[in-house]
Amino acid sequence: MKALIIGISGQDGAYLTQLLLNKGYEVYGGSRDPANNSFDKLVRLSIFDRVKIKSVSLSDFRSVLQAVHESNPDEIFNLGGQTSVGLSFELPIETFESIAIGTVNILEAIRFLNQPIKFYNACSSECFGDLKSGTADDKFLFRPRSPYAVAKSAAFWQVSNYRDAYGIFACSGILFNHESPLRPERFVTQKIIRAAQRIASGEQKSLNLGNINIKRDWGWAPEYVDAMWRMLQQPKPDDYVIGTGQSHTLKEFVRIAFEMVDLNWRDHVVIDHSLLRPADLQGSYCNPEKALKQLNWKAQYKMKDVIKFMMADVLNPDTKFH
């Protein structure tokens, strides 16, 4: 089996590469600028030398078509595009082009080549918007509240359209938050973990955060890439919500992280209103029942486990949680 992973240099791309290599796949990785990409996550997992890297710009159809044609994959996993919700408010056009247009370009390449390629599209729980009431499943109404979520929603419906109109085996995984030691520090979870460690060691005095009352469903990233793979092994393509089914406030995440280094978070966290987003989601609730029934997938690790693994990695980088 051959797989093309577009966005291979990110957290999910690295863990998915590791999973597929362990299953005997030949893995090609798509990157917008391979010459200037360190591929540090693949290096950290000691798998970089086992991957064939292709240059691909998602917003350029010819670039996408060439990468798909040359790699000739059985499966394509689209994990590419701008990944930050916060940054999407500053870069709305780039966000939409890299996510929505990029997804259409991949689907068009599959249609043009007329090969039985299975396609996985990375969707996001952000598409559901603010879940003040109700628990989201794959039939729940989208109400996106950020440029990132709008782009992901558009990509989701393009996948659905190409599946119905052209018979392409195309799936979207609507993933809730999933974390790991491979997260960069611009993500709030890693920002909290590293700040707690630095404050405990005297390297940092305080941590500035925005809205700590938001609720999210946090899971363990290495488990979530297994769900992606399972979607493409089903007899028929479908869309799935992936999460733990448990939601917690960011305040609780902070409290547990600081307690793990024997600190009281209230003594060190500063609420910084400049970090508030123009439209933030207060609640995020997941119903992953369909994934259990059809994929036989269930999250084994919950938020406290995730914090423990990430903190252990920071305190002892040789820890093999990743």
Q: What is the pLDDT of residues 61-79, one digit of tens each?
A: 999 999 999 999 999 999 9
Contact in structure between 183 and 44 (CB atoms under 8 Å): no
Max alpha carbon distance in the chain (Å)? 60
Question: Residues of 198-220 as b/e, b for ≥16 C-beta within 10 angstroms?
Answer: ebbeeeeeebebbbbebbbbbbb
Q: Within a domain: residue 321?
A: no
Q: Within a domain: residue 43?
A: yes
Q: 212 with 230, same domain?
A: no
Instruction: Give the per-residue pLDDT at 133.
Output: 61
User: Which residues sit opposite 118 in a β-bridge?
Assistant: 75
Q: Per-residue pLDDT tens for 258-308? A: 999 999 999 999 999 888 777 667 777 899 999 999 999 999 999 999 999
Q: 149 with 272, same domain?
A: no
User: Residue 212 is part of which domain span?
Assistant: 183-216+247-282+302-315
Residue type, 294: Q
Q: 85 with 187, same domain?
A: no
Domain containing residue 188: CATH number: 3.90.25.10
Q: 126 with 226, same domain?
A: yes
Q: What is the DSSP string of 190-229?
A: HHHHHHHHHHHTTS---EEES----EE--EEHHHHHHHHH
Q: Within a domain: residue 293?
A: no
Q: Within a domain: residue 200?
A: yes
What average pLDDT does the chain have?
94
Q: 106 with 231, same domain?
A: yes
Contact in structure between 239 and 173 (CB atoms under 8 Å): yes
Q: Within a domain: residue 40?
A: yes
User: Which of the residues 71, 124, 180, 284 is marked catalytic?
Assistant: 124
Q: Within a domain: residue 98?
A: yes
Residue type, 142: F
Read off the DSSP letter of residue 294: I
Question: What burial class does residue 22 get, using C-beta atoms within 10 Å of its C-beta: 0-12 exposed, 13-18 middle, 19+ buried?
Answer: exposed
Instruction: Give the per-residue pLDDT at 319.
Output: 62
Q: 13 with 88, same domain?
A: yes
Instruction: Give the per-residue pLDDT at 279.
Output: 66
Domain containing residue 128: CATH number: 3.40.50.720
Give the Cα separation of 314 and 179 in Å (integer): 14
Q: 12 with 58, same domain?
A: yes
User: Which of the residues 126, 162, 179, 284 is marked catalytic?
Assistant: 126
Q: Within a domain: residue 173?
A: yes
Percentage of the chain beyond pLDDT 70 is 96
Residue 28 annotated among the catalytic residues of the structure: no
Q: 253 with 311, same domain?
A: yes
Give the Cα separation of 56 and 62 in Å (integer): 9
Has residue 140 got a pLDDT over 80?
yes
Q: Per-residue pLDDT tens for 158-179? A: 999 999 999 999 999 999 999 9
Q: 32 with 174, same domain?
A: yes
Contact in structure between 297 and 227 (CB atoms under 8 Å): yes
Instruction: Give the per-residue pLDDT at 131.
Output: 76
Instruction: Give the per-residue pLDDT at 287.
Output: 93
CB 263: neighbour CB atoms within 10 A?
17
The domain tally of the chain equals 2
Give the Cα separation of 159 and 170 in Å (integer): 6
Which residue shows structure tokens 């949680």? 321
User: Which of the residues 15, 25, 28, 148 is marked catalytic?
Assistant: 148
Give the Cα separation of 182 and 302 in Å (integer): 17
Q: 209 with 238, same domain?
A: no
Residue 224 annotated among the catalytic residues of the structure: no
Residue 97 annotated among the catalytic residues of the structure: no
Q: 111 with 188, same domain?
A: no
Q: 148 with 254, same domain?
A: no
Q: Within a domain: residue 320?
A: no
